[in-house]
Every structure is written in C-alpha cells, then in structure tokens.
Amino acid sequence: MNEHSSRSHSIFIMNIHQTNQETGQQLTGKLYLVDLAGSEKVSKTGAEGSTLDEAKMINKSLSTLGNVINALVEGSVSTKAIFMYIYTNV
C-alpha cells in the first residue's frame, strides 16, 4: 500500500541442494524465513488517513493468515481452496 513503509510481510525461501560426489545421492531442503508486520490496535495508535488504511490492511492480512493456518492444521480444505481464499480475501 505504501511504498515507503517498513511495515510489511516478507517471506524468503532458500532452496538447498546437495549431491554426494561419490554416490550421486541427492539431498534437498528448504528454509523458510518469515517476517510478519505486527498487528496494531488502531484505536490506541491514533492513526489516520493512509496510515490507518495501511494498519487495517496489515491486521486483515494477519487475520487471513491465521484462518489459512487453521484450515491447514485441520486438514478440512484442499490446498486449491486455501489459495482461492487468500486470493479473494487479501
């Protein structure tokens, strides 16, 4: 929303591949680093205008992330449905 804001979510995924030169065995792994913007109690910050809008979007996206994590844990919906939920709600 605000190109100058430092309040945002970021996800960094590092793919790691290793091949044993003697056996040819391959190992792969992924490292996920996630930095989430903090939620804010808008009534306490006194935010207005674009800062208020930005805070609302951050709070909404954190809420949506919580819903997605709950759905994944429960195993009650398919991955495709989760991506559609994210696409339509964020």
Which range of residues forms the domain containing residue 42? 10-89
Distant-in-sequence, close-in-space partners of 21: CB < 8 Å, separation ≥ 6: none
Is the whole model's pTM more than 0.85, yes or no? no
pLDDT level of residue 1 (50, 70, 90 thresholds): very low
Examine residue 59 and state whether it is found in any structural domain, yes or no: yes
Examine residue 3 and state whether it is found in any structural domain, yes or no: no
Give the residue with greater pLDDT, 63 vs 69.
Answer: 63
Examine residue 1 and state whether it is found in any structural domain, yes or no: no
- Counting the structural domains of the chain, the total is 1
Provide the strand spans (E) within the chain. Answer: 10-19, 26-35
Examine residue 24 and state whether it is found in any structural domain, yes or no: yes
Examine residue 28 and state whether it is found in any structural domain, yes or no: yes
Surface-to-core class of residue 57, CB atoms within 10 Å of its CB (0-12 exposed, 13-18 middle, 19+ buried): middle
